[in-house]
Amino acid sequence: MKPPKRLQALIEEGLIDTVVRQLMSGKEATVFVVRCGDETRCAKVYKEATERSFRQAVDYTENRKVKNTRQARAMAKGTRFGRQAQEAAWQSAEVDALYRLADAGVRVPKPYNFCDGVLIMELVTDENGDAAPRLNDVAFSPEQARRHHATLLLEVVRMLCAGVVHGDLSEFNILLGHESGVDCPVIIDLPQAVDAAGNNHASRMLLRDVANLRAYFTQFAPELRSTDYGLEIWDLYQRGVLQTESVLTGRFVQQAGSVDMRSVMREIDDARDEESARLIRMG
């Protein structure tokens, strides 16, 4: 196919050889299958802010690091330079998260290069070597659902142990890849990932990520509906005892004590708003 303008520059730089086809177009980027030498990879071309349907909510960008104080001041003022810096920080957040999580053993696409708003990374494939499907395009047996749910909970724990919360995890941004003869979930789309220790909304996002997994897999394995892994995982993390080897039960008993009802109602309202937004994204 004719290379898009954004990818033509990478061809001229020798970072990719040819563009095979468009793989998908999402709320924040368009992904293409490309050839780099003898390897087939994918190139994620980030959309400009004016073209995206997903906005950089303050909740996600809270406490994100920027290169210098000049950028921070410009971003706070909303100047043209500040908006450009904000875009660069939003895009590089995914690159940073991919390297950080890959080092921690989380199954994410391997990143290879990031240049001018284009991320070149591993093409996750199925057992036939074709582009892997998203979870929402696959039906599972109860046993498969329980196995993939357990695998993804472990990935969530690995991410949290590495100090990262996905922030938008659902069946729409998990691929079902195939490695060593078995199907394995691969987590994608991380520009909204947040720092677990530095973002005041991290706990709510973690609980939502885990709840999304439960809601999806419950349709195949109804017994998962009664589990409460999110609160259990966050409690272990808060107490500083969460490890990748931690044995989870799916049960959590809230400790008795005073309850901040204003905070509880705020969390309920936030959860309601987020679910409405999620339903809109699902179309």
Q: Is 116 annotated in the active site?
A: no
> In terms of C-beta distances under 8 Å and separation of at least 24 residues, what long-range contacts does 134-139 make, across chains too?
134/171, 134/172, 134/173, 134/174, 134/175, 134/176, 135/171, 135/172, 135/174, 135/175, 135/176, 135/185, 135/216, 136/171, 136/172, 136/216, 138/176, 139/220
**Active-site position among 59, 96, 103, 189:** 189
Question: In this structure, is the dihedral angle defined by the CA atoms of residues 216, 221, 224 and 225, taken in order, positive or negative?
Answer: positive
Contact call for residues 120 and 16 (beta carbons, < 8 A):
yes
- The two tokens of residue 72 are 């921070």
Phi-psi region of 37 (alpha: psi -120 to 50; beta: other; left: phi over 0): left
Give φ, ψ of 109 to 5 degrees: -60, 135
Q: What residues does 44 pair with on adjacent strands?
A: 31, 119
Q: Determine whether 189 is an active site residue.
A: yes
Catalytic residue (choose from 168, 183, 260, 269)? 168
Q: Which of 22, 183, 189, 44 is nearest to 108 (CA)?
A: 189
**Residue 182 burial by CB count (10 A; 0-12/13-18/19+): exposed, middle or buried?**
exposed
User: Which amino acids are annotated catalytic?
Assistant: 168, 189
